[in-house]
Amino acid sequence: MPGKKIKLMRRKLNLLILLVLFGGGSGLIYGPGYSQAYFQSNVSGVRPAGMGEAFVAVADDANTVLFNPAGFARIEDLQISGMYSDLYSGANARLYTGEYDRMGYHFISLAVPVLHTHSAFGLAWNQFNSTFYKENAFTLSYARRIWPAYGLDMGLNLKVLQWMVEANEYSTGPAFSAFPNRDKMAYTADVGIIATLFQGFNLGLSWDNLVPADVGILGTSYVPGVLRVGGAYQIPWQNEFADSLMTSVEWTARDNIYNIKVGLEAWFLQQVLALRTGLNRERATSGLSFRYVWSGTPLVLQFDYAFTYPFQIYDTWGSHRLGITVNWDHRQPPPEEKVLPAAEVTAPEYTIEHEPMVPEVKDGHEQPPYQISERERRLQELLADIKDYHPKPMLFELGKDVLLETNYPPLDFIGDLLNKYPDLKIRIEGHACNLGTEAYNMELSRKRAEAVQNYIRQKHGIKPEKFILEFYGESRPVAPNDSEQNREKNRRVDIYLVILAFTL
């Protein structure tokens, strides 16, 4: 019985290669002439593979190029991700060439965010390879936030597709004399959108290969389109050990094949360790990640592993994927400026320049002139506006960077001030309590400061140069970290007003 299974596996692999080289088919999205065999859609990176490939609505790292290009707009740091895989390990069927075949997907992707714009560029290369057959896809991506109020992002992939058969005694022999061309290149594109409908819930949609790409050598044969629709929800589940729990579900259509995919991802130990699992029609999946923050540098390293087990291929130990992702916070710290808390801003702290005045003559005597200058008037108007404003820290929940609704009114007040006074900036300082590693708390304090900045920018249309962002992790507590009540005071963002030289 095992011998029959091995023979069946060999036949399937041989058939796959023959379909890739000479196959045709019928298509659901494009109609007749579309081959299912070319450029299979399960190239997935390591993290998505561990989540059952249900990633179209997650789409928040460099793997998004394979699922939803809109996700690039949600990447804040310069990021590069790579993957090596061994497909159907242990099967190694002997091909008609007499050699054992080893198949794998290899992948590398670069994400380059554009500062303060919620947009990014991406560049990726992924390859499927076997003993003598290879497929390459080269991708250039761009994504941008088009509706800030709802976190709606849109992205585009431009792709170059290429397959090739390596020359050997079998691919150049008499049986292949009718096929002088052993490679083909074509062009296509993908589009995608992703939106945050409410706190913690994303909806994603993408359409791959929307431009027909002819990769056939026996007449016309197109790469099928792939339609993906899915949702992802960040479950509010958190304690001192568990940081986050995300579920995702996705419906996929490729040619006349439909698939439902589900995934689960949980982070532990202050974002150091992640565990994943997933399921779809073709395979069961699992995975894990380990994250390391390079102390004293803006580098964060993440090591990923995923295991997938196919339901329809026998005599295999499953597929294994290994990957590494490097994050680099390329934003430069802002220059130092003299700042005071808003409640401490008083006129004597600033030198007020008066307009030059011509003395008034009355009854033959010069009268001591005094007329308030425009600069002084504007400063006094500002001080009058803020005299009853006493800034309080913006508090956050344990391990989270999500603004509480109680923070909205004071932030709206500050947004109105920034619009009214062009000479005004704000300084935003992020902080954290001492639960978790020092590196984790430093990153968390940065995200909290950015959450405050993003709220004011998006709701009030404030330019990025009006903000000064700093973050200190757990290094500047306002209360001892000896009780939960005191730690709550340290999970905060402080806001200060920065009054520049008043100019006309």
Contact between residue 261 and residue 278 where contact means Cβ atoms under 8 Å apart: yes
Question: Quick check: do 2-328 and 342-499 share a fold?
Answer: no
In terms of pLDDT, which residue wins out, 224 or 158? 158
pLDDT at residue 29 tops 60: no
3-state secondary structure at position 480: coil
Contact between residue 452 and residue 403 where contact means Cβ atoms under 8 Å apart: yes
Contact between residue 302 and residue 291 where contact means Cβ atoms under 8 Å apart: yes
pLDDT at residue 396 tops 50: yes
List pLDDT tens digits, range 189-206: 999 999 988 767 899 999
Contact between residue 432 and residue 400 where contact means Cβ atoms under 8 Å apart: no
Q: Which long-range contacts (CB under 8 A, 24 or more apart) does 92-96 make?
A: 93/6, 93/9, 93/10, 93/12, 93/13, 93/14, 94/10, 95/10, 95/13, 95/14, 95/17, 95/131, 96/14, 96/170
Secondary structure of 304-361 in HEC code, one letter for each residue: EEEEEEECCCCCCCCEEEEEEEEEECCCCCCCCCCCECHHHCCHHHCCCCCCCCCCEE
Q: Which two tokens stand for residue 346?
A: 């008083």
Domain ranges of the chain: 2-328, 342-499
Domain boundaries 2-328, corresponding CATH code: 2.40.160.60
Type of residue at 165: V
> What Cα–Cα distance (Å) separates residue 341 from each residue in 35, 338, 344, 416, 494?
66, 11, 5, 18, 9
The predicted pLDDT at position 436 comes to 73
Q: Which two tokens stand for residue 456?
A: 């004011």
List pLDDT tens digits, range 165-181: 776 655 555 555 555 56
pLDDT at residue 99 tops 50: yes
Sheet of strand 492-499, all strands in order from the earlier edge strand to the far edge: 394-395, 492-499, 424-430, 467-471
pTM for this structure? 0.64
The predicted pLDDT at position 388 comes to 66
The predicted pLDDT at position 303 comes to 96
Q: Which long-range contacts (CB under 8 A, 24 or more apart) does 96-105 make?
A: 96/14, 96/170, 97/131, 97/132, 97/168, 97/170, 99/131, 100/131, 101/13, 101/130, 101/131, 102/130, 102/131, 103/128, 103/129, 103/130, 104/128, 104/129, 105/43, 105/321
The predicted pLDDT at position 414 comes to 87
Beta strands in 115-170 (DSSP E): 119-129, 133-147, 152-165
Q: Which two tokens stand for residue 126?
A: 């992924």
Tokens 């579920």 identify what position? 247
Report the alpha-carbon distance of residue 63 to residue 105 in Å, rounded: 13
> What Cα–Cα distance (Å) separates residue 85 from each residue in 43, 46, 81, 107?
10, 9, 14, 9
Q: State the sign of the Cα–Cα–Cα–Cα dihedral 412, 418, 419, 421.
A: positive
In terms of pLDDT, which residue wins out, 403 or 30? 403
What is the DSSP track for 373-420?
-HHHHHHHHHHHHHTT-----EE--TT--PPPGGGHHHHHHHHHHHHH
The predicted pLDDT at position 443 comes to 83
Contact between residue 317 and residue 9 where contact means Cβ atoms under 8 Å apart: no
pLDDT at residue 256 tops 60: yes
In terms of pLDDT, which residue wins out, 83 or 76? 83
In terms of pLDDT, which residue wins out, 52 or 485? 52
The predicted pLDDT at position 278 comes to 96
In terms of pLDDT, which residue wins out, 420 or 276? 276
Type of residue at 458: Q
User: Roughly how many angstroms between the first and final C-alpha of the chain, as a whole number?
Assistant: 90
The predicted pLDDT at position 8 comes to 42
In this structure, what DSSP letter does residue 14 have? H
Report the alpha-carbon distance of residue 460 to residue 454 in Å, rounded: 10
Report the alpha-carbon distance of residue 429 to residue 341 in Å, rounded: 12
What is the DSSP track for 265-292?
EEEETTTTEEEEEEE-SSEEEEEEEEEE
Residues paired with 449 in a beta bridge: none
Contact between residue 218 and residue 178 where contact means Cβ atoms under 8 Å apart: no
In this structure, what DSSP letter does residue 222 have? B
pLDDT at residue 369 tops 70: no
Q: Which two tokens stand for residue 96?
A: 């008609």
Confidence at 351, pLDDT banded by 50, 70, 90: very low
Q: Which two tokens stand for residue 278?
A: 């997933």
Contact between residue 439 and residue 295 where contact means Cβ atoms under 8 Å apart: yes
**Alpha carbon 24 to its chain's center:** 36
The CATH fold of domain 342-499? 60s Ribosomal Protein L30; Chain: A; (3.30.1330)
3-state secondary structure at position 163: strand
Query: Looking at residues 261-288, what average pLDDT do you find?
Result: 92
pLDDT at residue 286 tops 90: yes
